[in-house]
Structure 1
Amino acid sequence: MTVHIGAKPGDIAETVLLPGDPYRARWAAQTFLENPVLVNEVRGMLGFTGTWKGHRVTIHGTGMGMPSLSIYANELIRDYGARTLIRIGSAGALQHHVKVRDIVLAQATTTLGSPSRSIFKELNFAPVADFGLLSAAHAAATQRKIPTHVGGIYSSDTFYDERQDLSDQLQRHNCLCVEMEAAELYTLAARHGARALAILTISDHILTHEALPADQRERSFGDMVEIALQAAFTTA
Structure 2
Amino acid sequence: MTPHNRANKGDIAPIVLAPGDPLRAKLVAEKFLTDARLVTDVRNVLGYTGLYRGKEVSVLSTGMGGPSAGIYSYELFTEYDVEAIIRIGTCGGLQPKIGIGALVFALTASTDSRWAHQYNLKGTLSPSCDASLLLEAVAQAKEMGYEHHLGMVFSSDLFSSYNALGENSWKAWARMGALAQDMESYALYATAAWCGKRALSILTMTDSCVTHEGLSDERRMTALYPMVSVALGTAWEAL
**Same structural fold, with TM-score higher than 0.5 when normalized by the shorter chain:** yes
The TM-score bracket by the shorter chain reads over 0.9
Matches within 5 A, 1:156-175: 156-159=156-159, 160-164=162-166, 166-175=169-178
**Structure 1: which 5+ runs fail to align?**
none
**Structure 2: which 5+ runs fail to align?**
none
Q: TM-score when scaled to structure 2?
A: 0.95
- Does the 8 Å CA contact 2:52/2:236 hold for their aligned counterparts? no
Residue among 167, 180, 183 paired with 1:180: 183
* Larger deviation, residues 127-136 vs 220-229: 220-229
Deviation at 1:124, TM superposition (A): 0.5
- Give deviations 1:22-73, integer Å, cap 9, x for gaps: 1110111111111110000111111000110111111000000001111111
Q: Which amino acid aligns with 1:196?
A: A
Q: Structure 1 residue 17 and structure 2 residue 20: aligned?
A: no
Query: How large is the Cα RMSD of the aligned pairs?
Result: 1.3
- Does the 8 Å CA contact 2:105/2:202 hold for their aligned counterparts? yes
Matches within 5 A, 1:121-200: 121-159=121-159, 160-164=162-166, 166-200=169-203
Once residues 99 and 162 of structure 1 are traced to their aligned partners in structure 2, the CA distance between those partners, rounded to angstroms, is 27
- Does the 8 Å CA contact 1:66/1:114 hold for their aligned counterparts? no
* Larger deviation, residues 179-188 vs 164-173: 164-173
Q: Which residue of 2 aligns with 1:62?
A: 62
Once residues 37 and 44 of structure 1 are traced to their aligned partners in structure 2, the CA distance between those partners, rounded to angstroms, is 15
Once residues 236 and 96 of structure 2 are traced to their aligned partners in structure 1, the CA distance between those partners, rounded to angstroms, is 33
Q: Which residue of 1 aligns with 2:115?
A: 115
- Give deviations 1:72-105, integer Å, cap 9, x for gaps: 1111110001111000010000001111111100
Deviation at 1:235, TM superposition (A): 3.5
| Runs ≥4 residues deviating over 6 A | none
Q: Which amino acid aligns with 1:58?
A: S
- Give deviations 1:169-210, integer Å, cap 9, x for gaps: 111112100001001101111111211000000000001110
- Does the 8 Å CA contact 1:91/1:200 hold for their aligned counterparts? yes
- Does the 8 Å CA contact 1:109/1:183 hold for their aligned counterparts? yes
Q: Which amino acid aligns with 1:157?
A: D
Q: Which residue of 2 aligns with 1:207?
A: 210
Deviation at 1:215, TM superposition (A): 2.1
* Larger deviation, residues 185-194 vs 59-68: 185-194
Once residues 151 and 26 of structure 1 are traced to their aligned partners in structure 2, the CA distance between those partners, rounded to angstroms, is 29
- Does the 8 Å CA contact 1:100/1:211 hold for their aligned counterparts? yes
Aligned residues between the structures: 236
Deviation at 1:145, TM superposition (A): 1.1
- Does the 8 Å CA contact 1:114/1:184 hold for their aligned counterparts? no
* Larger deviation, residues 111-120 vs 46-55: 111-120
Secondary structure at 1:5 match in 2: coil
- Does the 8 Å CA contact 1:29/1:59 hold for their aligned counterparts? yes
Deviation at 1:166, TM superposition (A): 4.0
Q: Structure 1 residue 220 and structure 2 residue 223: aligned?
A: yes
- Does the 8 Å CA contact 1:46/1:61 hold for their aligned counterparts? yes
Q: Which residue of 1 aligns with 2:98?
A: 98
Deviation at 1:121, TM superposition (A): 4.5
Q: TM-score when scaled to structure 1?
A: 0.96
Once residues 189 and 210 of structure 1 are traced to their aligned partners in structure 2, the CA distance between those partners, rounded to angstroms, is 33
Secondary structure at 1:200 match in 2: strand
Once residues 60 and 7 of structure 1 are traced to their aligned partners in structure 2, the CA distance between those partners, rounded to angstroms, is 11
Deviation at 1:114, TM superposition (A): 4.1
